[in-house]
Amino acid sequence: MITIVDYGLGNVSAFSNMYKRLNIPVVVAKSASELDGATKIILPGVGAFDHAMNLLGASGMRDALERLVCDNHIPVLGVCVGMQILAKGSDEGLLPGLGWVRGKVRAFKAEKKSANLPLPHMGWNDVSPVAGALLFNGLENDARFYFLHSYFFECEQQDSVVATSSYGIDFSCAVRSGNVYGVQFHPEKSHHYGALLLKNFSDL
C-alpha cells in the first residue's frame, strides 16, 4: 500500500489523485497508527527546512517512520523539502535532519556559478539519471520535471546521486541510500514524466 504522510506540508491530494489515475491503491496517514500496513511511503514537503522538521515532530509520526524506514526497510520517497529533510542538516536551518541519506542541503546563492541566477529555481528542467536508476525506468533519455527550490542536496557519497540537473551548477536532484529515495522536483506537477516516476516507485 502506498502511504502518503500528511504532516501539514506538501500537496498530498495531488499525489493521491495521480496514484488513483494510475489505479494504484493509496492511503493518507495523519497519525502513527495510520502508517500501519504501509509498504511504500511518500514524504512530501514544501517551504523551509526547520518548519518541516518541526511539523514532522509535532505530527507524532516521526518515531513510527524511523521504525518503518530504518528497521523494517520500507521504501520511502522524499519530495522537495521532503527530500531535503532526509539529509543531516541544511544551510537554511538550524535543526538536524533525519539523516537517512548522508549529506547536507546547500544554498544556490552560496555557489559562484549560480549566485546571480533568479531564486528560487522555478519551472521545468532536464534531468539526467545515472545508468540503472530504478526510479527513472523509461525516462533514461527523456526526463523533464518541474522544480521550485533555492537549496540543493549535496551528497557525501557520489553513489547516493541517482540523477542530476543543472542551474548554474550541476546538482543532485535525485538521491538514494538503500530503501531511501528522494527527488528535489515535483513529480505530482510533472505530467506524464511524474506519473511514470511515481509508478516506478510503486513497482520497486
What confidence tens digit (pLDDT) does each residue in 141-176 have?
889 999 999 999 999 999 999 999 999 999 999 999
Of 76-90, 104-118, 153-167, the poorest mean pLDDT is in 104-118
Report the phi/psi class of residue 80: left, alpha or beta, with left for phi > 0 and alpha for psi in -120 to 50: left
Average pLDDT, the chain: 96
DSSP 186: B
**pLDDT value for 59:** 96
Give the CATH number of domain 2-203: 3.40.50.880
Task: Name the residues annotated as catalytic.
Answer: 80, 186, 188
Q: What predicted TM-score, i.e. pTM, was given to this entire model? A: 0.96
**pLDDT value for 170:** 96
CA distances from 188 to 28, 51, 86, 150 (A): 15, 22, 19, 19
